[in-house]
Every structure is written in C-alpha cells, then in structure tokens.
Structure 1
Amino acid sequence: MPSLWGTSRDDDHDADAGEHDNGRSEDDSRSRADERTRLLPNQANNSTSRLLTPDDPAVSPYNLWAVRVLRYVTLFMTLFSFVWWSLLLIAIFATPPGLETRGSGFFALSNASIALCLLISKLVFFGTPSKSSRILCACMALALLVNSILTLAVQMVRYEEGWVGTVSVLWALLMSLWVLLADRTVRWGKEEEEVRLTGRAETRRTLTEWSSVLLETIGLFILAIAIVLMTLTLMIRSVDAGVAPPGKLYWVDGGKYRMHVCCEGDGAKAEGNSTPTVLLEGGEMPVGNGLRQLARDALKNGSISRYCFVDRPGVSWSDTAPSPLSAGMEAVAASEALAKAGERGPWVVASAGVGSYYSRVFVSQHSREVKGLLLIDALHDDDLARLGSPRRGFLLWLWGFLSPLGLDTLPAALFRGRGSVDRIRGVSARHNPKNIFARLQESLVADSFTKRDVEGSRAIMRRSTPLTVITSGKHAEKDKGWKENQRDLTMLTENLQHWDVVDDAPHEVWETLEGRRVIEERLREMVRHAE
C-alpha cells in the first residue's frame, strides 16, 4: 500500500531492478553495435524506430566502415599515382637514374595519366555510383588488358617501354579494375543503408546526382576513347617492330642505349685504301628519307666508293637517349657507335639542316680524320634560339603527350596507305613518338648546351678543312637573312671550295634534279681531292 510520505521499500527495490535491467540492456546494445550502428546508435536493432526519409543525410553509404576504408584506399592510390606521374613527367626533361626508357616515354606517361584520371574521377563522384560508369570501366579494363598483353608479348615494344612502361600499363589496368570494384561496392552499400533506414532501395535521383552521373559518364567515355586509340596505335607499333634495320645496332654511353649504323660500299674498307667514306648526317628528316638514296646513286655512278650514316638517338631505328642530350653528347655517342662498327675514316662529312650542328661538332672532334665538310642548306648559330624557344618546346611536349593516341599515325595508315617503313624513316616519321621525343630533347638544350657545343666547335675546328656550302635558292630568295647566315657559314674554315645557291630548290635541296646533281658533283670533288 502506498505511503503518504513517499514510495515503499518494495517500490524502491523494483525501481532499482528496472534501472539495473535498463543499464544492462544499454550495455548489451553497445556491445552489439556494428559498423551499421556506430554512427546511428539510436537506430540500433529497434524494430519500432520510425523509418527515415530517403533525403535524410543519415541515409548514406558512408555509414559502412567498408565504404569509408575503400575511399581512403582510393585516396592513397591517387596520391601514389600522382607521384608516379610526376616522376615520369620529370623524366621527359631530365631522366632520373633507373627511369630510362629506350622508347619515347610518352606511352608510360599516358598510361599513368589514365590511371590518375580514373582515380580522381572516382574520388570526385564516389557517392554516386552508376551503371554507365561500371560499363565504361569494364570496357577500359578490357582495352588495357589488350595493351598489357601487347606490351609483354611483342619483344620490341617490351624492349622500348622497359620496366617503366610495363609497370605503367599494368598499373592503369589495375586501377580500372579497382574503380570498377569501388563503384560496385558503393552501390551495394548505398542499397543496404537505404533498405535498413528507409525500408526500401531508392530508385530516383536528385538533380545533383543526375548531374554527377552525367559528368562522370562523359569523362569516362573520353578516357575510354583515348584508351581504344592507344590500343590501335600500339597494334601499329607491334607491326612496325617486325621491320629490320638495314644496318646494325651498337650499344653506346655505357650500355644505356643503341645507335643504328648503316654503311654501304667497299672503298674505305679495302686494305690500304685511303679513299674517304662519306658520312651522312640527316636534317629535320632521317637520312633514310632522301639523302640515303642520293648516296646510293652516287655510289652506283662511281662518284663515291663508300658511305655511312648514324641515326641520331630517337631517329629511325636508334633508341632514345636519356635527357638532356646535346649536340656534343650525340657526336660522342656517334663516334663510339662508328668505332664499334669498325668505321674509323677518313671522312667526308655531309649534313643537312639541323644536322649541321651535330656534324660540325663531330668534325671538330675528329679534325685529322675529316677530309672535307659539305653543308646542305645548313642551319646557322642564330637559329638555335628559335629551335630552343619555350613555345616550340611546349608544343613538342604537347604533341608528344598526345602521340600515343595516333591522331596523325592512324589516319595516315588507314586512309593514305602509309606503311611501316614510312613511319620509321619516311614522311610519317615526324609523327613517331620517338622522333617527337628526339626533337623535344633537341629543343630543350638548343639555346644552352648545344649552343655552347656549336660555338666551341667553331673555335677549335681545323681552319684548313675543305668546306663546301650548298644553299636552297627558294629559301635564300624568301629570307634575305637566311642568305646572309649562309654566307657566314662559308667562313667556318679558311678553305672554302664552293658556295652553290641552287635555284628553285627547297630546304631539302636533293628533292630537285639540279640539287641532286650539284650535291653529287661536290661529293665527287671532295672525295677525289682527299685521295
């Protein structure tokens, strides 16, 4: 019976027991809390709790520890990919030890860029999974799998890409699969939380979510197109790998890369024969695109008895060299390649265009062995500033970065019938990633290291070396400054033999009949004069 002054002892005992039971229930509830209930303890295992609305911020896949950990791991992979991408970008301009590739390096950089873009896209749109993104990621993973197989299976591609390119393409493949897994996991977590907290899986999306899905789909679609183009370009590279070089490849610079040396004719090779070998140095295009045919005709006509040429690093069949690479460094490497090929001169050096810088340095290094220097519409020292301009360097880098897409190579192969040889040493060689990389290297040091090498060679070149200068008539007529620079080149030595201005001849003087005749005639005179 209740007391007038308060509760009875029995009531107090019952209250204490109830409090004890409630405390034990709360402790049991806390002990049973899992990743679904830690953030929402008031919802834990309470069947009578009122369901939330789908728009409640508490309805989120981030309630699950698995989803949050997945996001942290994705963030870590993004940071790792950014560091790897940065190293590959730096290697284009100044190659760190161990990151050398004997190809262009642009394929490795492109694959690293794809992996980084995939991860950034996933982080930005992590909470809005979509079926379209999973389909696109699956397609990209399939294309990257083909790229990985080609890289590992084709010996020349594997050789040129090295461990750097192989790791990059495999990492891109792994990241495409990871993004696919992450999107699928977030979708599962989102449905789980919606069913638990709202009673059903939500099928509608807000305008913000639709906008996120649209942006992510567009970005992934562009990436998928890029990967497909890279796959096609890699297939063409695999076909080109079957074309054997006409000469032989020799390791130079301590075994870092190989240079292609090609010689034809028996004159200077004969025992006791002092007839000079004509050493060709290509211009903006490889020697095999024009100059070699001129030399073969001169050989057939008896104007010369032997010729050789060494493809510069990154040109035709030669490997690319680590950056930076100046004219002086290339001349030393070419000398090493010639020595290993058993070619020791004497020489009559003939060069065209930008190749004149390399040939002038070579002549200054081999003054006793060089019996003549022939310059064909050669570039002047003043042109080094144009070659090394920041604008040209940036455009070459951008062109190289996009070169794995084959925007020039694929249309030329499909619609113009360009074959493997043309892509290696013909007109299409300008779009070859290795060739672009070589020109970028040339541009990076043109107004610094190469300028120092060229100016130094002018000071130490033997003044009695026979010199002949052949100038493009069209170029001289169009640019008066060009003709004055050509006049200055005639004073490189004190033994000028001829200065010919070939009317109507373009920069590649040998492309006209008159130009070919003049070049062959001057070569004949220089060889016979040196005998």
Structure 2
Amino acid sequence: MVAPWNRTKSGPQGSAGPPQDQNVQGEEGEYLQQQEPQPEPDEQTRLLPPQNAYLSPDDPAVSPYNLWSIHILRGLSLVSLAVTFVWWAFLLTSNFVSPPLMHTRGSGFFAFAYTTLILGYIVLGLLFFATPSKPMATWGIILSVLLLVGMCISAAVPRLRLEEGWVGIASVVWAAVMSIYQVIQIRTVAWGKREEEERLTGREETRRSLREWLAVFAETILMAVMGVAVLLMTATLILRARDASLPPPGRRYFVNGDTYQVHLACVGNRTSETADAPTILLEGGTGPVEHTLQPFLDDIYRDGIIPRYCYWDRPGLGWSDTAPSPHSAGMTADALSEALARAGERGPWILVSAGVGGIYSRLFASRHLLEVQGIFLIDPLHEAYLAELARPGRGFVLWLRGVLSPLGLDRLAGALLRGRSSRDRVVGRSAYQSDKFIKAQLQENLVAVTMTAAEVQSARHIQMGETPLVLVSSGRHIKSDPQWEERQEDLSHLTNNRLSWDVVPEAPHEVWTDGEGRRVVENRLRELVQKSSSYRP
C-alpha cells in the first residue's frame, strides 16, 4: 500500500492521478510518470522532491509561510502590534499625567481598556498565527460586531463623544478596525494553510497533533474571555449613554482655559432684601454633594434659615468633567472660582463643608479673603491625614479599579439586580462605581502629600484671622481615632474668631444624619448667618 504522501493527487471523481502519459510497470501496478525533461523549479515546485512526489504532512516545509501573501500579512500584524503598543504606552501614562492634547473630559480608562484588549488580541493572533481554527474565527466575528456596536454608541451619543474626546473615539475605532483585520488574517492564513497542504501533500490535512489541539483549546478559551469582556464593556457603554440623558439641576461652565466643564447650581433668587446677605457655598465630602449634604441644606433653605445657597460638583464628580492630571486641591478651588465668575455669582460667602471638603473650602477662603464672611466645618479632614489619602497601596487599588471599571461589573449588577437608576449612578449611592469618580480619587491620591499639602500649609498663613468659624465634630469618630479630637481642636483655631466647637456624642462622620447632629448643625448655621451680617473683612 502506498503512503498517502506518495500517492498522486485524486481527480474530480476520485480517479487516480493524472490520466495521461502514464505507463503501468511491474507486478505491483505502480503509476510512474514518463521520463520528461524537468523544468526549472518555481514557487509552486521548489519544495517538491524529484519526479513531483508528495511530501509528508508532518514535513516542516508544509507551511502557509511559503506564500508571500502570508508573509506580508504577518508583517502587517507586527507593524500593527508596534503602533498599538506605542498608543497603549501613551494611554497608560495619561492615567497619571495628561500628555499635551491627550486630555479627555472622561476618565480615560475606556480608551485604555479598548487599547489593552486589542493589543492582547493582536498578540494572540501572532502567537497562534499558523494554527487558525473555526472557533477562533467565530469568536473573532463576534468581537468585531460588538466593537462596531461600541464604536457607534461612542460616536453617536453627544455626551459620550465629549467625555471620551478624540482619544477615546480613535481608540474604539482602532479596536474595531483591528478586530476586522484579525478576522481577515485568520481566514487568509487558513486558506494559505489549506492551499499548501493540497499542493505539497496532495490533500488537505484534517488531522491535528496534540500540540495543535492544545493551541486550539488555548486560543478558544482566550478568545471567549475577550468576547465576554467586550460584551460587558458594550453593556456599560449603553448604561453610560442612558445616564448621559439625566439633566443636571444647574449648568456646566468651562474652566481652566476651556479644557473641561464643571457643574454649578444656585438655589434662591437675590432680592432687594437679600442683596447684601451672604450666600451659602456648599462643598461636599468624598462623594457627590447631591447625595450627601445638599438635601439637608435644601431642607434648611426651605425652613427659611438661610436665604440662598450654591453647590457644585468637583471635577470628576456628578455632572462635572474630569480635570487634566496632575490636579491638586488648589486647582479645584480655582476651578470653582472661575465657574462662579462665569455664572455671574458674587459673594459674600459663607463656606459650608464636610469631611475632605473642608480642605477645598479652606483653600477657597484663602483665595477670596474679602468675600468670605464665615466658615462652617462639619467633621473636617485635617491636613495631617493627607498621608492616608496618598498611600501607594491605595493608589494602586484605585488605578486597578479604574482599569477594570469599563467592564462595569458593579454597575451592571446594580442596574439588573438592585434596580439602581441613572441618578443613583451619577450622584447617588452608586456614584463611587463611576470611572470618573475613581479617576478623581486617583488624582487626589497622586498629589495629596506634595502639591495639596503645600497649598493647605500656605492657606493657613493667608487666612483672615477674624473670619467667624464654626466647627461641629463627630463623637463616634473621636472615639474610634484618639488623634481625631486633637486635630479637630487644631482646626477650631484656624481663625481667631471661633464662634463654637461642638462634639455630637453619637453622631457619625456625616453628623447631619443623626437627630441630635442635625439640630446642632441647624442652630449653629443660623447663628453663623446672623453673626456674619455684622462681620466685614
């Protein structure tokens, strides 16, 4: 019996070999070609042994790399890998420092996620270049469709288009284009492999070695993981598109040379009676002020305790864009100043803040000495705790959360299983899951003990000594941290005109959520408004 790689190629109906110019010789009936002058070897015959016998399917010469088209395709993949890696490196840097012209008003994590995914896809395509499979081609088509959907959503929704900017849109388009290219590559290499097998062995090889089966299994698993990741990213984009339709209560104003916008809202109209009355300027804690302090202050306003108040979202929170990196607390205070000026809002101000918002209020006060008529701090963060915000471990966790945030695991679970609404995700209880919120926390972490700490130290020396000051502290916080009380007392001496310092025994960090804490804050704010009317810087 003749080995399959030594038999002649079958004809259309399965008849043996070339039908013409053959003689039957010997008892075995072997087919031998007539002796003819052999032409010079060309690309189609240069690998065949003499007399045009076929090679073994296991011969290394049986490879799609014999074709120039496959060589060119692999070269294009290597060039694409190099270009994508350079772009990926720029996006990685922009997570920490915004390169010129590459700032996005969103977080930048979506562009990084799409580029990381397509970089891995190109590497996977090169690793398994010579072993294409139907599962890999199928998953490639699924990836291409999902990436095209993501590209359409990013480009079609105006708010997403603004937040992602040209950097994000270019990243998504590049990912979609490269996914289509990878499908073409898989199909072309499979065609080339089949053509070379038929030419050099006489038939298409349907067997696979153990090594090839392991390669097919690995590439199928990895492609499935990529497919799930892109599906989650597309679903998260749909959630973001839905959230973008939630209108802000105030207006967005360009700041910092029109590079990004911040959201500012004021409640209450100025009248002849309240023309000279101070406006409460509200600064929230860690989360969006709309979910924490603003509802409480709105109740006070409706009760007539305060005549008017304004609140805003710091960069990266609520309806505000993300600022370029690095971004310090002083830069945030300057952004608030510019937004107030563009909105036509003027003092005098009474600054009310909670938690870490006290840092921002103090910096704003040091920059507006003649406009601030009072400072009200609710369990404020002392600058000594900035080192806690700047811990490297915390920064790494924030960065990792940001990189994974485009998958939207927590946001999707909240929307599908817990009924979380758009408001919950923008300014509510799920706002901490937003990629912009995570980016703002990361920016705070990166400069807390450098730029921000220096700005706060300078503000202590600049602050007007006679500005009325009220401080309300959490009793629970003082019990849990022995140093908290000592540092709260230090903050009570920010000015020489301390009106009061109250410790509410059972109140949590958000003092106004406790019944007794709410009563104390209301009474002290009423007193501060009355006192400030007689104070003129």
TM-score (norm 1): 0.91
Report the equivalent of 2:296.
294
CA displacement at 1:209 relative to structure 2: 1.0
Aligned-residue sequence identity (percent) comes to: 50
Deviates more, 1:272-281 or 1:150-159: 272-281
1:205 aligns with 2:208: yes
- Matched letter for residue 329 of structure 2: A
**Displacement, 1:151?**
0.8
Match of 2:461 in 1: 459
Deviation sequence 1:425-466 (CA, Å, 0-9, x none): 111000011111111111111111111111111121111111
> Is the 1:471–1:500 contact (alpha carbons within 8 Å) kept by the matching residues of 2?
yes
Cα deviation for residue 495 of structure 1 reads 1.3
Distance across 1 between alignment mates of 2:522 and 2:215: 67
Structure 1, 226-235 or 491-500: larger mean CA deviation: 491-500
Does the CA-based 8 Å contact 2:48-2:55 persist in structure 1? no
Contact 1:303 1:521 in 2 (8 A): no
CA contact (8 A) 1:346 1:370 kept: yes
- Does residue 105 of structure 1 match 2:108? yes
Residue 360 of structure 1: SS of its match in structure 2? Answer: helix
Aligned position for 1:260: 263
Distance of 2:416 and 2:523 partners within structure 1: 40
Q: What is the DSSP-based 3-state SS (H/G/I as helix, E as strand, rest coil) of the residue aligned with 2:430?
A: helix
* Residue from 15, 27, 40 that aligns with 1:29: 40
Are residues 1:363 and 2:368 paired? no
**Within 2, Cα distance between the matches of 1:144 and 1:511?**
45
Deviation at 1:271, TM superposition (A): 7.5
Cross-structure match for 2:354: 352
Partner of 2:146: 143
Deviation at 1:354, TM superposition (A): 1.1
Q: Distance in 1 between matches of 2:425 and 2:522?
A: 27
- Structure 1 residue 168 and structure 2 residue 179: aligned? no
Deviation for aligned residue 1:49: 2.4
Return closer, same or farther for 1:304/1:263 CA change in 2, 3 Å cut-off. same
Query: In the alignment, is residue 393 of structure 1 matched against residue 395 of structure 2?
Result: yes
Shift of 1:42: 5.0
1:50 aligns to 2:61 (yes or no): no
Does the CA contact (< 8 Å) of 1:294 and 1:520 recur in 2?
no
1:408-423 residue pairs with structure 2 within 5 A? 408-423=410-425
Shift of 1:237: 0.6
Q: Is the 8 A contact 2:284 2:292 kept in 1?
A: no
> Are residues 1:336 and 2:341 paired?
no
Instruction: Give the superposition deviation at 1:266.
Output: 2.3
Give CA deviations for 1:106-158 in whole Å, capped at 9, x if unaligned. Answer: 11111111110110100111111011111111111111111111111111111
Q: Matched residues in 1 for 2:438 and 2:272: separation?
A: 39
In structure 1, C-alpha distance between the alignment counterparts of 2:91 and 2:262, rounded to whole Å: 23
**CA distance, structure 2, for counterparts of residue 181 and residue 520 of structure 1:** 68
In the aligned structure 2, how far is the partner of 1:478 from the partner of 1:42? Answer: 80
Distance 1:225 1:212 in 2: 20
Secondary structure, counterpart of 1:470 in structure 2: strand
Q: Distance in 2 between matches of 1:328 and 1:290?
A: 22
Q: Which has the higher helix share?
A: 1
Number of corresponding residues: 497
CA offset at residue 43 of structure 1?
A: 2.2
Moved more, 515-524 or 181-190: 515-524
Instruction: Quote the RMSD (CA, aligned, Å).
Output: 1.4
Q: TM-score normalised to the size of structure 2?
A: 0.90
Please, which runs of 5 or more residues in structure 1 have no aligned partner? 1-24
Q: Which runs of 5+ in 2 are unaligned?
A: 1-36
Q: Deviations over 1:377-405 (max 9, x none)?
A: 11111111110111111100100111111
- The SS at the match of 1:371 is strand
Residues 1:29 and 1:277: Cα distance change in structure 2 (over 3 Å): same
- The separation in 1 between residues aligned to 2:397 and 2:148, in whole angstroms, is 31
Q: Kindly indicate whether the alpha-carbon contact (under 8 Å) linking 2:146 and 2:234 is maintained by their aligned counterparts in 1.
A: yes
**Alpha carbons 1:286, 1:426 under 8 Å: kept:** yes
Deviation at 1:181, TM superposition (A): 0.8
Match of 2:19 in 1: none
**Counterparts of 1:55 and 1:87 in 2: how far apart (Å)?**
44
Structure 1 distance, partners of 2:518, 2:154, is: 42
- Per-residue displacement from partner, 1:169-228 (whole Å, max 9, x unpaired)? 111111111111111111111111111111111111111111111111111111110100
Deviates more, 1:271-280 or 1:293-302: 271-280
